[in-house]
Amino acid sequence: MTNLPVLEDLPDPRGARVLLRADLNVPLRTGRAGRPEVADDFRIRALLPTLAWLLERDARVTICSHLGRPKGRVDPALSMAPVCQRLKELVPEGLFSGVRVMENLRFDPGEEADDAAFVDQLVRGQDLYVNDAFGAVHRAHASVVGPPARLPSVAGRLLAREVEVLERINEDPARPFVAVVGGAKLTDKLGALNALSEKANALLIGGGMCFTFLAALGHEVGASLVDHGRIDSCRQLLESGHRIVLPSDVVALGPGVTGDTEGAPAQVRRFGRDLLVGWRGLDVGPETVAGFANEISRAATVLWNGPMGVFEDERFGAGTWGIADALASSKGFTVVGGGDTTAALRTHGLAERIDHVSTGGGAMLELIEKGDLPGLAALRASGGSRPRRAGGEP
């Protein structure tokens, strides 16, 4: 399937003006003097191989990206300025003069609407287009699908690698192939769960979404997160005959006093698959971690997306750290995606022990579900080899 045009397929990039679509949608925090700064620069670092390749060939690069969800309006809190600052610190001295960073694409309503006039504006004065924004290729937005119809266009190093890894998983994974899925967004992930149940030898489900599956089996899930509109879909998936493994024990928070009120702290205890009324399941239990880890240890390919519990609260982090450790120790080929999941890996210093840490969450799941994405199809249709200055300009 791949056949993505890559950097080497570009007409001579020397001295060319290149529009580089990146995914620099990084988490921000409030820094000195109350100014926003980059809290985690992994996506900026991931762009460096492509950027260096272009700059070493004297290309003049205009980087464009979205940041957060400003919904078509200028929001100074979501300016690219702190991202640009961090990028400048990471690019070797002397090379940065060839770089320009555009302001947040989503400040303009034309970006998400794939507006032709906005595409015109983006490609004006550019010779070539490189897309390295894996985290955005599932969206048919102007900066993703527009330029390939107007300029010679190719995939950057990161995008090409992401697609190569995931297409291998889609088409011919080393077996046994075990998929582990968690997190909170069941609706977003249901399509990928269906696809994974067919492709994987085992699909292990944890996180907030497991309670809708447990509810579908008739278990008492107390006050846990349940998507009532999806119980039937979950039941169908469980009855599909594919190997789907649900937690055998969960860690839950009692209906006691929580948060700001003084008094008895809310209780935390472990249950089997049935909770008591009012209790909220917030992590998978140790027996589940052991079972999942055992499946992972025997797998030749492991794909993980979505935390096993509310790992932001240390009382409910053990499931996620346990699965992270199991992947880090795996002898198989390991792939992890999802913003929260990969952030968890990085905070525990385990990212280096994973074979491929994806910069995409939604894009990864959609590629697994659908086998292709709008931004990839656009690059393939472009082919990367049309004459220079196709975008107009004298």
Burial pattern 282-296, b for ≥16 Cβ within 10 A else e, equals: bbbbeebbebbbebb
* Nearest distance, CB of residue 107 and ligand ADP, angstroms: 24
Nearer to ligand ADP, 128 or 357 (CB): 357
Interface of this chain with ligand ADP, residues 75 to 134, rule: CB under 6 A: none
Handedness of CA 231, 232, 237, 241 (dihedral sign): positive
| Among Mg ion, ligand ADP, none, partner that 184 touches (CB below 5 to 8 angstroms by kind) | ligand ADP
Pairing of strands 250-253, 268-271: antiparallel
Piece of 30-38, 116-124, 152-160, 336-344 that binds Mg ion (CB under 5 A): 336-344
Residue 167 in the binding site for Mg ion (CB under 5 A) = no
Nearer to Mg ion, 135 or 375 (CB): 135
* Nearest distance, CB of residue 331 and ligand ADP, angstroms: 24
Among 227, 340, 366, 369, binds Mg ion (CB under 5 A): 340
Amino acid at 279: W
d(CA 26, CA 48): 15
- Report which secondary-structure segment, H or E, holds 366: helix 362-370
- DSSP structure string for 272-315: SS---TT-EEEEE-HHHHHHHHHHHHT-SEEEEES-SS-TTSGG
Interface of this chain with ligand ADP, residues 246 to 305, rule: CB under 6 A: 281-282, 305
SS3 content of the chain, % helix, strand, coil (to 5): 40, 15, 40
Would you tell me the crossing angle of helices 81-90 and 42-56 to the nearest 10 degrees?
A: 60
* Nearest distance, CB of residue 79 and ligand ADP, angstroms: 24
Nearer to Mg ion, 227 or 340 (CB): 340
Binding letters toward Mg ion, positions 294-333, x by CB under 5 A: ----------------------------------------
Among 207, 307, 317, 339, binds Mg ion (CB under 5 A): 339
Closest residue to Mg ion, judged by C-beta, is 340
* Nearest distance, CB of residue 173 and ligand ADP, angstroms: 20
Residue 362 in the binding site for Mg ion (CB under 5 A) = no
d(CA 130, CA 149): 12
Nearer to Mg ion, 104 or 342 (CB): 342
Piece of 77-85, 120-128, 307-315, 334-342 that binds Mg ion (CB under 5 A): 334-342
Token pair 């905070």 in the structure block, residue: 347
d(CA 312, CA 330): 24
CB 342 within 8 A of CB 118: no
Interface contacts to ligand ADP, rule CB under 6 A: 182-185, 207-208, 225, 281-282, 305-307, 309-310, 312, 338-341, 361
